Structure 1
Amino acid sequence: MENIHRRKNWMIVLLSSLLFLSSVSTVSAHHHPNHQEVSEQNESDQSDSGLASHSKSAILMERDTGKVLFEKNADEPLPPASMTKVMTMLLIMEALEEETITLNEKVRISENAASLGGSQIFLEAGEEMTIKDLLKGVAVASGNDASVALAERIAGSEKRFVEMMNEKAEELGLEDTHFKNPTGLPADNHVSTARDMAKMSRALLQYESITDYTGIYEDYLREGEENEFWLVNTNKLVKFYEGVDGLKTGFTNEAKYCLTATAEIDDMRTIAVVMGADTTKERNSDVSQLLDYAYNKYTTKPLFDKGQSVTTFDWLKANKSNVDVVTDDSVSIVHEKGVDIENIKTQIKMKQDVSLPLTEGTVVGKLEVVDKNQVLSQTDLVVSENMNKANVFQLFGRTLQSFFN
């Protein structure tokens, strides 16, 4: 493979390293759900034993970095109840991104979907409802019927959708999660952990528009019609804790009261998961205390925005020169407030097995954040435009230009 960087690219790398010398305790990238998970700095602080005292397990995570700020029995497999719908919503958002479904498309409700018990929006067999409204039904009211209707539309059957859920769990590296349905209704070996729920939520929150749904406190379906249905969010913290805009509650007799919550305050987004609380009051109290702890003790500093140009891709055999290479996701630092933290540097490592043509978004390298020769994080670098092979005239012209330069 040819040397794809000119001297100016190395200058950019050096300047980037100097520019982002900063204090850090943990740095990582906000990963796209389809990307391989990189090493996370899961340095939890369990000295505050009063946190999550009512819950069997819990975790507190900063979203961009994946840094674990607190954990309690975070790897204990437990029934997740309707928090299962975090994965269901993740597959829905992926399908919307891939345009295999659209928000305004109407879905005909099957007998199977309409027959679901538990939390529901009372869909009737043969009724048609838009994907947008069904998604509201899942995100706000935790509708089991809406979840299955969407599962059937996306995968063709509920069974195939569950297979997709487990495939996605494996892709995300969720070793202690196994799904039997898209709803969270009780089933043997339908389990997850607080840590896996937080990782799932990081993947879901990559789709920023999801909080437009999970952050709704109340709304209507079929508004103005005879069968109008009032949606009220099962996550009361959306209304009563400033900054909370998701994600999913859960309850069954076996699972007890569970909640995966997310909040964004001062540009820092956190994820708090509690499982197995005895009452909704205790569940909400545990989550509120975790969020208080996060925002009282920690802060973040962004390094790169998603899509920010880091260097250029200048390849003699390509039809375009100086194509921007950009970060595929945001990169941040999270650290304790008022604490001096060590300097870091960034470095670019380009892949050596890249071949033309390249489509926009193709991974061509990694941005590494390094502290004392230890790689703290990696995020994918992608090309910002399509690139094809240069034609004969382009090659000839560039060869001459290279010769005279």
Structure 2
Amino acid sequence: MKRELRKWVAVLLMPLLLLTTLGVAPAYADSPLGIHVDGAILIDADSGKILYEENADTPLGIASMSKMMTEYLLFEAIEEGNITWDQEYKVNDYTYAVSQDRRLSNVPLRRDGTYNIRELYEALAIYSANAATIAIAETIAGTETEFLKLMNAKAEELGLKDYKFVNTTGLNNSDLQGMHPKGTGPDDENVMPAKSVAKLAYHLLHDYPEVLETTKINTKVFREGTTDRTVMKNWNFMLPGFVYQYEGVDGLKTGTTNFAGHCFTGTATRDGKRIIAVVMNAVDAKGVGSYEARFDATRALFDYGFSQFSEVEFVPAGHQFDKQKELDVVKGKEKQVSIEVKEPIRMMVKTSEKDLYVPELTIDESKLKDGALQAPIKKDTVVGHVKLVKTEGTDYGFIDDTNPGAEVVTKDAVEKAGWFSLMMGAIGDFFAGIWNGATGFVKGLFK
């Protein structure tokens, strides 16, 4: 009887409990930095050292941050002479139709118009113009479909992981009016983990730092002096003069779609140090995404990086390790050669943890034969590497996980010994071997 009564009480109370929970926004637990994102990462732009990460390996929507790959391939094509900045692009039905969709970020392109690559690039980098991005892709590869092949090949070359490119812009394919690239779905969208986004930005800034000359422009007019005049305000509101301005910000790329949420790859420099931050699907404490949420999250990452980290020189150039100052040499005029660290080893680390890092030497065994180098040996021959190892606590490593560390090289050159010296050495080794064998035999008799 009591069991039945409890069951009916539960049934009667259930609707009331449901009513009390309707309309309540999800509670977002604070991350260590108090940001609300699906993924985030902060790196030192010079060394690629990861300073902080949060769910950075999960593939997520990247929206217009995809355009960083288009920028990379554009600069590469310019560098290789495949296209030029003043090269003209003639608008086709696809780019015209996309450019007329004012729901999207666009500069209007005339159906019969021609535009040079530089102005299309500026529209891409400043205003995130989608049709202009497609136009650049078509100029480089002929079609957006063919350009996707270049994007995927470059992603593999750069070591990006878990990426999927379905278009050049980062839009949902449904926004491309049925003209999305062949082989992709009508509702597909580009995805990538925060770590891969940061790695793409890292390589873009290292290989083509001139991109910042454009991404730092907060406002520019497209087609000044014509009826197509369009004021392009940069979507990066952390630039100087904007509402969320942050000292030192000069790039890099925002991204927003319903699928991806509010995303941003930002970079800033202070006191000669540059950092890169990526936030994906940033929301406020109530779970609401907005421009403010993504820039607040980025600000928190920047503040953390600039206030808590500093560059420390752990090993000076020319440093020699006490336990391994030399390597043996065979067939050389010298029996040994000194080795040293070629360049100083500096790294951006949390200031309070700098004493936790120790340099660790690794000799490249593939350079040795029976534990020795073979003459002739040139000065500055790379014989190993040094990495900084954290003795306790979490170390996030580097964004470029193929980086072997600082080079260790030979301090001097060693010439190959002449034939007479080599012959005498061989004879000496022969008789030494006989002597060692004989003494070993005699010792064995008295055991």
TM-score range, shorter chain: 0.5 to 0.7
Query: In the TM superposition, what whole-angstrom CA distance separates every residue of 1:258-304 from its partner, at most 9, and x where no partner exists?
Result: 11111111222111111112111111100000000000011225899
Which residue type is aligned with residue 232 of structure 2?
L
SS in 1 for 2:203: helix
**Quick one: structure 1 residues 373 and 82, their matched pair in 2 at CA, closer, same or farther if it must change by over 3 Å?**
closer
User: Is the aligned partner of 1:286 residue 2:287?
Assistant: no
2:404 counterpart of 1:377:
yes
Change (3 A) 1:373 1:92: same
| Change over 3 Å in CA distance of 1:231–1:368 after alignment to 2 | farther
Instruction: Say yes or no: does 1:334 pair with 2:348.
Output: yes
Instruction: Report the alpha carbon displacement of residue 345 of structure 1 after superposing the two structures with TM.
Output: 8.1
The amino acid across from 1:212 in the alignment is: E
* 1:23-172 equivalent positions in 2, closer than 5 A: 49-51=31-33, 53-116=35-98, 117=101, 118-172=104-158
Q: How does 1:192-203 map to 2 (within 5 A)?
A: 192-203=192-203
Structure 2 residue runs without a partner (length 5+): 1-29, 173-186, 283-288, 317-341, 368-379, 391-401, 409-447
Query: How far did residue 348 of structure 1 move?
Result: 9.9
Root mean square deviation of aligned Cα = 3.5
Q: 212-221 vs 98-107, which deviates more? A: 98-107
Distance 2:231 2:214 in 1: 15
Aligned partners of 2:161 and 2:193 also within 8 Å: no
Whole-angstrom CA distance in 2 between matches of 1:370 and 1:379: 5
Distance in 2 separating the partners of 1:379 and 1:98: 30
Matched, 1:217 2:222: no
CA distance, structure 2, for counterparts of residue 63 and residue 330 of structure 1:
18
- Deviation of residue 343 (structure 1)? 5.7
* Deviation, structure 1 residue 376: 7.0
The residue that corresponds to 1:4 in the other structure is: none
Distance 1:245 1:372 in 2: 30
- Letter of the 2:85 partner, please give it: L
Select 1:258's aligned residue among 237, 259, 263.
263
**Does the 8 Å CA contact 1:64/1:332 hold for their aligned counterparts?**
no
CA contact (8 A) 1:349 1:365 kept: no
Tell me the secondary structure at the aligned position of residue 153 of structure 1. Answer: helix
The CA deviation at 1:349 is: 7.4
CA contact (8 A) 2:93 2:111 kept: yes
Conservation of the 8 A alpha-carbon contact between 2:63 and 2:256 = yes
Amino acid at match of 2:123: G
What are the ranges of 5 or more consecutive residues in structure 1 without an aligned counterpart?
A: 1-47, 305-326, 353-363, 382-405
Deviation at residue 49 of structure 1 after TM alignment? 2.8
Return closer, same or farther for 1:101/1:78 CA change in 2, 3 Å cut-off.
same
Aligned partner letter, 1:182? T
Call closer, same or farther: CA 1:114–1:369 in 2, change over 3 Å.
farther
Distance 2:219 2:384 in 1: 43
Q: Distance in 2 between matches of 1:377 and 1:248?
A: 29
2:231 is matched with which residue?
Answer: 230
Match of 2:171 among 165, 179, 185: 185
Which one-letter code corresponds to 1:125 in the other structure?
Answer: R
Q: Residue 204 of structure 2 aligns with which residue?
A: 204
Q: What's the CA shift string for 1:46-91, capped at 9, x where partnerless?
A: xx93426221111111122222111111111111111111111111
1:297 alignment partner in structure 2: 308
Deviation, 1:379, is 7.2
Matched positions, count = 307
Matched residue SS, 2:123: helix
Q: Pick the aligned partner of 1:268 from 260, 265, 273.
A: 273
CA–CA separation in structure 1 for the residues paired with 2:381 and 2:311: 25
The C-alpha deviation readout for 1:187-220, integer Å capped at 9, x for no partner, is: 4262111111000101111211000111110111
Could you report, residue by residue, the CA deviation over 1:114-163 in whole angstroms, capped at 9, with x for unpaired residues? 22142111122332222111111111100001100000001111101011
Q: Percent identity?
A: 36
- Alpha-carbon distance in structure 2 between the residues aligned to 1:149 and 1:282: 32
CA–CA distance in structure 2, aligned partners of residues 367 and 185 of structure 1 = 48
Q: Name the structure, 1 or 2, with higher relative contact order (CA <8 Å, separation 6+).
A: 1
Q: TM-score, normalised by structure 1?
A: 0.67
- Give 2:432's aligned residue: none
Q: Which has the larger radius of gyration?
A: 2
Counterpart Cα distance in 1 of 2:258 and 2:388: 50
One-letter amino acid of the structure 1 residue matched with residue 144 of structure 2: E
The 8 Å contact of residues 162 and 182 in structure 1, kept in 2 or not, is answered as yes
Change (3 A) 1:76 1:228: same
State the 1:165 CA deviation. 0.6
> Would the aligned equivalents of 1:260 and 1:272 in 2 still touch at CA under 8 Å?
yes
Give the corresponding residue for 1:391.
none
CA distance in 2, matches of 1:380, 1:148: 42
- Partner of 1:225, secondary structure, is coil
| Cα 1:366/1:49, change in 2 over 3 Å | farther
AA aligned to 2:253 is K
Question: CA 1:77–1:224 in 2, change beyond 3 Å: closer, same or farther?
Answer: same
Scaled by the length of structure 2, what TM-score is found?
Answer: 0.61
Q: Give, in whole Å, the separation in 1 of the partners of 2:153 and 2:75.
A: 16
Shift of 1:372: 7.9
